[in-house]
Amino acid sequence: MNKKFGFWSIVLLTINGIIGTGIFLSPAGVVKVAGTYTPLVYILAGLFAIILAITFASAAKYISKNGSGYAYSKAAFGNEVGYYVGITRFAAGSIAWGVMATAVVRTTLGIFGGPDAQTQGNITLGFLILMGILLAIVFSGSYITKIASNISTIGKITALLVAVFAGLAIFLKTGQNNFMSINQAVDTAGELIVKPMDASIFVGAILAAFYAYTGFESVASAASEMEEPEKNLPKAIPLAIGIVALIYVSVVSIAMIINPEGILNSTEPVILASAFLNPLIKNIIIYGAVISMFGINIAAAFSTPRIFEAMADEGQLPIFLSKKTKQGVPLFAFLVTASMAIAVPMAFQYNMRGIMIISSVSRFIQFLVVPMAVIMFYYDKNKEPKIETAQKMFFTDVVIPILAFVTSAFLLYKFSWADQFSMVNDNGETVVNTYAICAMIIGYVILPIGVYIPYKMGLYKEKKVVSSSNRSVS
């Protein structure tokens, strides 16, 4: 029951952690901005993601411990940097899990019950049921989690491939190519939906598409549950990103060819399904969307608690958080993570737009620190032990991380801060987004300080856990 993730299971887990709600629920968001440039936008965003993925994969060959960005940052720069990266990533991961769980419940209620079913009570009930199912799956051990993850990944890929091949069949049968008509699509008021393109709009579209690729950075958080992570992760993560990019570009392109206005003017819970008129195809895509969202919740439930476990193993959090069940599940770390994932959406009444900024910005922290960590590993400047037998490559360990750092800095500079800290109220007025401000303060100030002070006071029992593959000191 504790059989570890092999190479292809790691590939599927990575795909599962990336493909979630975006490609099913909101392809119109990028299409409205980029128009006919949408496929190119997804290709460029995928290239950005691959650069970052190779960087994380390079870090994984030097450090095979749990924690992903936390483990890499701590090994390269020491306790303080690692601590901050770890605790903010944990907060972001927990809240992101809550956001994804809320998305599953809302979409499911919208599909089977309509808009009237999305009441606070129904959402809360559905939310708790979903979290209970996820807890049961993960507590069954790595083997059951792996099976559930693999099945959900195959299910979502199948649904997307059905969309691609069905759309291709429709195009070949009708001979109609509506791809260019996207620029003439109008809304209910008769206004053009896609505005004229300029450089800033194009960059904004790439940024929007880039977020559809995030999730790969959390895969290595559970490295101890994988077979030979130092060998398999560097190969599995880039391969998974490439597969996802191919699927994204194919799905968006074929939908724009057969029915772009159906996507742009859709009012259905699963927007991608609006490109098709055939009920069977629509249902396959709709159920695939539900499977996809459920699968990404499994990935979050599996990976996120391992961050706290890794920090507890290193003596930076209370030691009880590293305690595992017979199935290898970090019991208390999981319960703390699940509690935050449940409590935060409920506290904010499931209005998640304001606090999603934590999930977004925390990725940039990792995307800036981890590339520099890889360079430190390459030049043997790390503060803590790394795998000495790791094969060094200047291109993947220096050149690519530099590109990753520059790309991340550019994305952070272009991040829409104004949009995140403002929102439109029920009266149509733009007001300060207090949800986002509270989320930033809690996630980046209160939580890190609150758990760091006891650590500096020596109240946490240190438990240095180093795998046999990591014992060689540089």
- 179-217 pLDDT per residue, tens: 888 877 777 677 777 777 777 778 778 877 887 787 787
CA distance 13 to 371: 23
- Other CB atoms within a 10 A radius of the CB of residue 299 amount to 29
Residue 2 lies in a domain: no
Residues 313 and 284: beta-carbon distance below 8 Å: no
**What's residue 377's pLDDT?**
95
CA distances to 218, 356, 364, 377, 453 from 443, in Å:
18, 11, 14, 29, 16
CA distance 331 to 336: 9
pTM metric for this prediction: 0.79
pLDDT, tens only, 9-45: 888 888 888 887 667 766 777 888 888 888 999 999 8
Residue 343 lies in a domain: yes
The pair of structure tokens assigned to 271 is: 């927007």
Residue 423 lies in a domain: yes
**What's residue 444's pLDDT?**
82
> How open is the CA angle 26-28-34, to the nearest 5 degrees?
125
Residues in CB range of 91: below 8 A, 6 or more apart: 340, 358, 362, 442, 443, 447
* Nearest of 73, 60, 86 to residue 470 by alpha carbon: 60
- Provide the domain count of the chain: 1
Residues 141 and 327: beta-carbon distance below 8 Å: yes
* Nearest of 340, 411, 404, 348 to residue 372 by alpha carbon: 404
- Identify residue 80 by its one-letter amino acid code: E
Give Dmax over CA atoms of the chain in angstroms: 72
DSSP code at position 192: B
**What's residue 287's pLDDT?**
86
pLDDT, tens only, 57-75: 889 889 988 788 899 999 9
Model confidence band, residue 466 (pLDDT cutoffs 50, 70, 90): very low
In CATH, what number is assigned to the domain containing residue 82? Answer: 1.20.1740.10
Q: Which of 7-16, 158-167, 220-229, 317-326 has the lowest mean pLDDT?
A: 220-229
**What's residue 379's pLDDT?**
95
- Identify residue 471 by its one-letter amino acid code: R
- Identify residue 133 by its one-letter amino acid code: I
Look at residue 311 and tell me whether its pLDDT is greater than 80: yes
Residues in CB range of 41: below 8 A, 6 or more apart: 30, 34, 202, 205, 206, 209
DSSP code at position 164: H
The pair of structure tokens assigned to 244 is: 């996802």
Residue 333 lies in a domain: yes
CA distance 179 to 34: 13
- Identify residue 95 by its one-letter amino acid code: I
Residue 1 lies in a domain: no
Domain hosting residue 238, numbered range: 7-470
Residue 307 lies in a domain: yes
pLDDT, tens only, 141-188: 777 887 888 888 888 888 899 999 999 999 999 988 988 888 777 776
